[in-house]
Amino acid sequence: MLTQTINEEKLLAEFEAKINAEIKIEPKDWMPDEYRKHLIRQMSQHAHSEVIGMQPEGNWITRAPSLRSKKILLAKIQDEGGHGLYLYSAAETLGVSRDQFIQWLHEGKAKYSSVFNYPTLNWADIGAIGWLVDGAAITNQVSLQRTSYGPYSRAMVRICKEESFHQRQGYEIMWRMMEGTVDQQKMAQDAIDRWWWPALMMFGPHDTDSPRTSLAMKWRIKRESNDQLREKFINKTISQAEIIGLKVPDPNLIRNEDGTFKHGDINWDEFWQVVGGNGPCNQQRLEHHFNVHKEGAWVRESAIAYNIKHTNNQ
Amino acid sequence: METRDNQGQLWEVFIQSKPGQAFKHAGSVHAYDKNMAIENARDTYTRRGEGTGLWLIPSSEIVAVTENEAEYFFEPADVKIYRHPTFYNVPEGVTNM
Ligand SMILES: [Fe+2]
Ligand SMILES: [Fe+2]
């Protein structure tokens, strides 16, 4: 018993020494239970977000205003499916099966980003999502490229390479609308009015209300805190809005002397309502995923049967 | 054989980025057989001309040495420093060697 404790202490010291030396932790390495649990929660939530996030955008594929925009939207959504797959694979290295991750999602034990529980009402929303929602996700993911867990870090590098087109295509939609008729300009402004705050909420609660942050920062799973990342995003996005004539819907926004910004109060009641399952589309998103998974079971069963038959005939 | 609904078994994906280059590990995919593994890897890992070649290997077939075992496993090579050119002296003025 005593030797076990001493052994654990030694392993923990070695683990932390590696983290401090910026050496990545790999799947077969010893790691504290808390580290593994945190990663399982964070990476599966990240994977589920990529996949569930396909729904609000998928809603507009058949109604894209041109062939060009339809091709772009299809490619973008296909990327998101790919991101989900990179992340599920990376998360599986922690010893949890893909089957289990999906089950936890369906049981409501695993979450996805609450921003995807808002509806996409018109084409301008596709612009706002690419620009703001992907923009916020990129800010977070660029930082996570330096996460201490090797498979997670490598998945982030791959994802970041693909993301920049996502944000640009969204911004281009907004820009074209702002160059268009008064009605189109109103649509674009209405979209940023509805998506701005949910995008800011994507970074999670303020650091003072985020109990798990300190451990995640200590073990370098996260490299920057929620508030730091949110500020980065705000500071780069506001000028992008101004250039095309859009206004950020924050009457209390303050421009600091050094050119950075201080945002007004975030409606955390709304945030917790949506996280708790009471957003406009929570039920729809989860039900859709559940039904498609269930209805597609015969495809997976046939693939197994085909493989067995094929292997036995060899 | 696969019995649970886990979207197939795990395969490791290796991509050759240009002809003549080594294949490099890119990640993994799930698939039920070889053909599906190749197609899934193409759709997941090479959507932007990342590769001229792909290798797919069932993860369970990989034999590996991990960092934990590295110290004693690679130790025999560490002491043979005469395998490196810097071990040897040459007279002043000798070049191109
Ligand atoms: Fe993504
Ligand atoms: Fe994206």
Residue A1's pLDDT band (cuts 50, 70, 90) = low
- What is the rounded distance in angstroms from the CA atom of residue A23 to the CA atom of residue B58? 28
Residue length of chain B: 97
Beta partners for residue B13, in sequence order: B27, B56
- Which residues of A fall within a CB distance of 8 Å from B66? 26, 28-29
- Domain ranges in chain A are 31-282
ipTM: 0.83
**CATH fit for domain B9-87, picks 3.40.50.150, 1.10.10.10, 3.10.20.520, 3.30.1490.20:** 3.10.20.520
Are the CB atoms for A206 and A226 separated by under 8 Å?
yes
The CA A260 to ligand 2 mean position distance, Å, reads 26
- Chain B contact present for A16, CB below 8 A: no
The pTM of the whole model exceeds 0.80: yes
H/E segment holding residue A172: helix A150-178
Contacts of A310 in chain B (CB under 8 A): 33
Cα distances (Å, whole numbers) of residue A277 to A116, A125, A284, A289, B94: 12, 22, 11, 15, 77
Q: Where are the domains of chain B?
A: 9-87
Say whether residue A92 is in contact with chain B using an 8 A CB cutoff.
yes
pLDDT digits (tens, 9 = 90+) for B11-24: 999 999 999 999 99
Q: Is A287 on the interface with B (CB under 8 A)?
A: no
User: What digits encode the pLDDT tens for the residues A79-138?
Assistant: 999 999 999 999 999 999 999 999 999 999 999 999 999 999 999 999 999 999 999 999
Contacts of B45 in chain A (CB under 8 A): 82
Asked if A29 and B32 come within 8 Å (Cβ–Cβ), the reply is no
- A75: which chain B residues are within 8 Å (Cβ-Cβ)? 47
- The bridge status of strand A261-262 relative to strand A254-255 is antiparallel
Tracing tokens 């950020």 back to the chain, one arrives at A248
Q: pLDDT-derived band of residue A284, with 50, 70 and 90 as boundaries?
A: very high
By CB atoms closer than 10 A (0-12, 13-18, 19+), residue B86 is exposed
- pLDDT tops 60 at residue B2: no
CA angle in degrees (0–180, nearest 5) for A276-A143-A198: 35
**A261-262/B9-16 β-pairing:** unpaired
Helix then strand then coil, % of chain B, to nearest 5: 35, 25, 45
Closest CA to B6 of A53, A40, A92: A92
Q: Which CATH superfamily is domain A31-282 in?
A: Ferritin, core subunit, four-helix bundle (1.20.1260.10)
Do the Cβ atoms of A26 and B67 come within 8 Å? Answer: yes
Of chain A, the percentage scoring pLDDT greater than 70 comes to 98
* CB nearest to A82's CB, from B2, B8, B47: B47
- Which tokens hold the place of A2? 């005593």
| Least CB–CB distance from B30: residue in A86, A90, A98 | A98
Give helix then strand counts, H and E, for chain B.
2, 3
Q: Do A158 and B10 touch (CB under 8 A)?
A: no
